[in-house]
A and B are shown apart, each in its own frame.
Chain A
Amino acid sequence: MPSLNPHLVVQNIVKSFPKTGPEKVLNNISFEVSKGKILGIIGKSGAGKSTLLRCLNGLEKPDTGKILFQDQDFTDLSSQKLREVRQKIGVVFQSFNLLSTRTVFENVSLPLELLRLSDTERQKKVENILNLVGLSSKLNAYPGQLSGGQRQRVAIARALVVDATLLLCDEFTSALDPHTTLEILRLLQDLNRRLGITIIFVTHDINVVKELAQDVCVLDQGEIVEQGSVESVFTNPNHAITQSLLSELLKNDLPDFLQQQLHLEGKENDDVVLKLIFGSQTSTKPLIANLIQEWKIPINIISGNLDHIGKATFGHLVVSLKHQGESTEKIIKYLTDHQVGVEKAGYIRW
């Protein structure tokens, strides 16, 4: 994804931990993120996601390779310079990492204290950002008195209070329940839109990528096996890992009762069961309705899981219709002509 305005460029990062073994935890990782974009890095556990993120904020030093943040390579900066760069990068951790002895206000104000801002300036900035994350009523609460979602909001506020332009999030949803996760995702989207913050996050949850990211990198065994816009990667996954991650999103199996009644040879009066796979720009045409009108065939929709990623319809639909030899083939051709994948699952007698 080359772009004219890269915010962070990662070039050929290699990282290994000689103490634990010779294998490379990160192997030749390259990608870049433009200003204001949201990049999701997804992989199963042990894929190297967290190590990659730790390299991005300088908590780990890659063995070789470059990381350019606003055109400045920070893999070989002096510790003083590195500290300055870090102050422009906000980090949100999986376990929140709030100071238990400081109030919400004091937690968020910590990075500003490090910048030696005056009390009044700090007050203003902290109140501003807490307002933005919707926590202005909890200024004086201690983290122990907050819910998981509220704690993560504090952590996000703390990461952004220094006017960070880049936000790194490490598995920030895994300690949260699905509802709270969604809330936090909405918040990040909102911050991204309103403040133009670039966000890079790592996760093992494909749903988070789908909801939040614009671009995605799929990481497996320390290598990026696929990358691109979420739309293109999700609708046309090439690598087995991507496909298996996506299968979590699409429960691809036929309903149990149907599976048991299916047979492979079609007889007269049977219905044919088709699995329609939507994976590219097909959404605007009323395909099913056209089918019914043109062929005068009643179509029975059995199950489905359709969703949108960007403008693309994405998902699958299981339908059954009267098996009529030749016309079945025509229908399949009609659908495939419109970029709908068709799998014949079998035949059934209702």
Chain B
Amino acid sequence: MVMNDLLFKALYETLLMVFGSTGIGILLGVPVGVILYNTSQQGLQPCKKVYGPLSFLVNGARSIPYIILTVLLIPFTRNIIGTSIGTGSAIVPLSIAATLLIARCVEDALRSVPKGLSEVGISFGATPFEIIRKILLPESMAPLIAGITTVIINLVGYSAMAGTVGGGGLGDLAIRYGYQRYDTVLVVLIVVILVILVQCIQMLGQRCTNHYRR
């Protein structure tokens, strides 16, 4: 059935976009978040000159509506991927958004670790890097995963806008086939799939969070 094929393809594209950008977002966002935390007032190596501009950049970019960000990033995307159209290209702005969101998550999560624990590290003669890697990051796993879960769910929403750059995905399918062709059944079906997807992500995230909460 054609409809089924379309749905599966769209689901695949959505998953690819969401988890692809989450992966890249974690890779880039964790270091950025660590730098944010570490250079902030409460960090191990406070440095206003780094924290100020970086924090401003992260906040500034986050305040741009996602659809605008996608369009603004078209030249950048074309530079990296070679084209600005398609699922692969849609991952670029999504990854940027994921990086910024995750960076803040990491910063907040690290800050939630009691200060006494960094002091333990300091008193054992650990370097700031060791303190972050061995104490702060592991101890902040629970809030970190909870935060990243929220980010992933945000990304599911963002990925619906990927249609703008021909990224495909469930949201795009719902608009083109469902909304523009008055196929209400398809719209409802897609919404149900999205709801289930988000529920699954939330449940999985919750499980991971609980695993680390002791």
Q: Which A residues are closer than 8 A to B by beta carbons? A: 57-59, 82-87, 89, 91, 93, 95, 97, 99-102, 110-111, 113-114, 142-144, 162
Contact = CB atoms under 8 A, between A and B. Distances in A.
Interface of B: 114, 116-117, 119-120, 122-127, 130, 134-135, 138-139, 141, 212, 214
A122 to B, nearest CB: 14
Given A59-B122, A86-B125, A87-B124, A101 B139 contact: yes
Contact of A100 (B120, B123, B125, B139): B139
Given A58-B123, A110-B135, A114-B125, 15 more contacts: A59-B122, A84-B125, A86-B123, A89-B123, A91-B120, A93-B116, A93-B119, A97-B116, A100-B139, A101-B138, A101-B212, A110-B134, A114-B130, A143-B214, A162-B124
Closest 6 CB pairs of A and B: A83-B125, A86-B125, A97-B116, A87-B125, A91-B123, A111-B124
Nearest to A143: B214
6 contacts: A86-B124, A87-B125, A99-B117, A99-B135, A110-B124, A111-B124
A57 B138 contact: no
Contacts of B120: 91, 93, 97
Contact of A99 (B123, B125, B139): B139
Contacts of A93: 116, 119-120
A186 B55 CA distance: 51
Contact of B122 (A86, A110, A162): A86
A143 B125 CA distance: 22
Please indicate which of the listed interface residues B116, B125, B138 has the most CB atoms of chain A within 10 Å of its own CB: B125
A114 B130 CA distance: 8
Nearest to B119: A59
A30 to B, nearest CB: 23
Contact of B127 (A83, A89, A101, A142): A83
A111 B121 CA distance: 8
Nearest to A85: B125
Contacts of A82: 125
B131 to A, nearest CB: 9
A332 B208 CA distance: 76
B110 to A, nearest CB: 14
Contacts of A58: 122-123
Given A95-B116, A101-B214, A113 B139 contact: no
A58 B125 CA distance: 10
A301 to B, nearest CB: 49
Nearest to B142: A101
A105 to B, nearest CB: 14
Contacts of B119: 59, 93, 97
A144 B126 CA distance: 24
Nearest to B138: A101
A83 B114 CA distance: 21
Contacts of B139: 99-101
B121 to A, nearest CB: 8
Contacts of A95: 114, 116
Contacts of B130: 114
A110 B130 CA distance: 11
A111 B134 CA distance: 10
Please indicate which of the listed interface residues A82, A84, A89, A101 has the most CB atoms of chain B within 10 Å of its own CB: A101
B16 to A, nearest CB: 32
A99 B138 contact: yes
Contact of B134 (A89, A91, A114, A143): A114
B76 to A, nearest CB: 38
B113 to A, nearest CB: 9
Nearest to A96: B116
B147 to A, nearest CB: 16
A59 to B, nearest CB: 6
Contacts of B135: 99, 110
Please indicate which of the listed interface residues B122, B123, B138 has the most CB atoms of chain A within 10 Å of its own CB: B123
A84 B125 CA distance: 6
Nearest to B120: A97
